[in-house]
Amino acid sequence: MTSRGFALFALFMVQLLYGLNYTIAKLVMNGSYIKPFGFVLLRVAGATVLFWLISLFIPQEKIEKGDFIKLFLAAVFGVVINMLFFFKGLEFTSPIHASAIMTITPIIILILSAYALGEKITKLKVFGVILGLIGALILTIYGKSSRAGDNVPLGNLLIFLNAISYSIYVILIKKLTSKYHPFSFIKWLFLFGLILLIPFGYSELNEVNWGSFTPTITYSVLFVIIGATFGTYLLNPLALNKLKASTVGIFIYLQPVIAGLFALYVGADFFDLLKLSAMLLIFAGVYLVTKKPKNAN
């Protein structure tokens, strides 16, 4: 059984990989190396191959027939809609805007988990969500970036719809993680997603000029496939196995912090006292929501 400490570590790694992904994926698309839908198909195809290869070397649980329907729905929301809207939105907006908008996800997950999973919403959890949201909003308003988007309002809208889709995905797989080990069902999740994505991304992937790739672009594409796709979709269910869906959601508040720091590192942003204060608020919100109650097992 995954320990709570490892679950929290896995969850942090997911946000770290996603936080870096905003700038790295946009670098590839801005350079016109791969268009958004073609990039999505490539990342899902690569991750699907990795999941199925690993499944050959570890014991597998039998998936009940009825759960394949849940897996198919999870693939629709967590692989197809989620990724298509995210990459298309990221093409039009900036990494900092995109990561900040994703902070609406914890609120959606909190509401859905209370309704669908019967999770108790404590006052401390609500306060943590609000505190983190305030910090995220400060980053959204003041997180300027030198990377201008082509159509920021449209890009932001697509990222928002992606956040809703991702929230539904988290709720859908929560029950599956308590029933199966991630390796037992993620390979099916990605196989369904891959099949559904082919009509959307095949033509764009077919246009890719592989010979134009520089070493930096090649490493960036590999990071998106191995780190931001294979790694995150493996670690997230491991965290969900031990943590509440709402706790998993609140960690998304770390994404604008990580994305902002990375954008700063590559020269796409600047740092000041206001942003430091916003980041501290986000970390405080994460702490309050992930704090285990004294009477919990």
- Copy the structure tokens of residue 55: 């499944």
Residue 263 covered by a domain: yes
pLDDT digits (tens, 9 = 90+) for 39-76: 999 999 999 999 999 988 887 788 999 999 999 999 99
Question: Does any domain span residue 295?
Answer: no
Q: Residue 87 domain-assigned?
A: yes
Nearest CA-CA partner of 232 in 2, 14, 10: 14
Give domain status of residue 297, yes or no.
no
69 part of a folded domain: yes
Q: Treating both helix axes as pointing N-terminal to C-terminal, what angle do 105-112 and 152-177 enclose, rounded to 10 degrees?
A: 40
Are 40 and 47 a contacting pair, CB within 8 Å? no
Averaged pLDDT score across all residues of the chain: 84
The confidence band for 292, taking pLDDT boundaries of 50, 70 and 90, is low
Q: How confident is the model at residue 36 (pLDDT cuts 50, 70, 90)?
A: very high
Backbone angles phi, psi at 152, to 5 degrees: -60, -45
Q: Look at residue 164 and tell me whether its pLDDT is greater than 60.
A: yes
Of residues 14 and 269, more confidently modeled: 14
- Under DSSP, the state recorded for 58 is S
Per the domain annotation, does 169 fall within a domain? yes
138 in any annotated domain: yes
Query: Is the pLDDT reported for residue 219 higher than 80?
Result: yes
What total number of domains does the chain contain?
Answer: 1
pLDDT bucket at 2, cuts 50 / 70 / 90: low
In order, the DSSP letters of 166-228 are HHHHHHHHHHHHTTS-HHHHHHHHHHHHHHHHHHHHHHHHHT--GGG--HHHHHHHHIIIIII
Instruction: Return the H-helix or E-strand segment holding 246.
Output: helix 245-250
Q: Which carries the bigger pLDDT value, residue 219 or residue 32? A: 219
Is the pLDDT score of 268 beyond 70? no
Say how many C-beta atoms besides its own lie within 10 A of residue 65's C-beta.
7
Global pTM reads 0.82
Q: At what angle do helices 82-92 and 152-177 cross, to 10 degrees?
A: 150
Nearest to 74, CA basis, from 193, 181, 201, 233: 193
**pLDDT tens track for 100-152:** 778 777 777 777 877 776 767 778 878 887 887 787 777 666 655 555 556 77
Q: Is residue 23 domain-resident?
A: yes
pLDDT score, position 263: 76
Quote the distance between the C-alpha of residue 204 and its chain's center: 23
Dist. CA 63–CA 244, nearest whole Å: 23
Say whether pLDDT at 9 is over 80.
yes
Which range is least confidently modeled, 27-41, 135-149, 224-238, 260-274? 135-149
> Domain residues for 270?
4-56+63-290
